[in-house]
Amino acid sequence: MSRLDAQVEFLLTCDRLKAVTRTTLLHSGERAENSAEHSWHLALMALTLGEYAPPGTNLNRVMELLVVHDLVEVYAGDVHFDQSEASKEQQTQREAEAAARLFGQLPPDQREMFGAAWQEFEARQSPEARFARALDALQPMLLTWGPGGIGSAAHPELTLGRLLALKHPALKDFPELWELAQQTAARAVKAGIMPE
């Protein structure tokens, strides 16, 4: 198989991400978001909210990480945000296998590049990965409880305290984004679409 043929095969396989349904609804509430839409929206968030990243953060790298971070869901699927520890371990294994399978379709240099980006996001060590993770934590909140969102109809099991406890680890190092998350949740409680 030629280099170009391998790249096209990879791209067409990645098109399946459009069929991976997430638990988050679109902001309009009309249907569930898919993982491709989620990745696009996160890249747009990085471009729009980049000023809230620490100085020196490479925003191009952040966008690369966000475009790649959920590609493995083509084979591994998406999981509920509030899964058990055992489920998290199983999903981690499924995603590692999916990464090997998916990125294995690419020529060796790109296989390494895509794999490194996916691993960087998962490791949460670089400033770029931490900012990407913060956006990944914030985006579902904005869709669900942002102005005009449908709120508790999407996730009735979430209370204010539970939601903020889930989001704090990813957002705590980004004061403006953490404040936005808290304000979004507080407005949802005040509007009666999230239990306190």
> Would you say residue 151 has pLDDT above 70?
no
Residue 101 pairs with which residues in a beta bridge?
none
pTM above 0.75, yes or no: yes
Asked if 31 contacts 63 with a C-beta cutoff of 8 angstroms, the reply is: no
Q: Quick one: pLDDT at residue 79?
A: 80
Pick the closest to residue 167 from 153, 148, 186 (CA basis): 186
Q: Does domain 3-190 have CATH number 1.10.3210.10?
A: yes
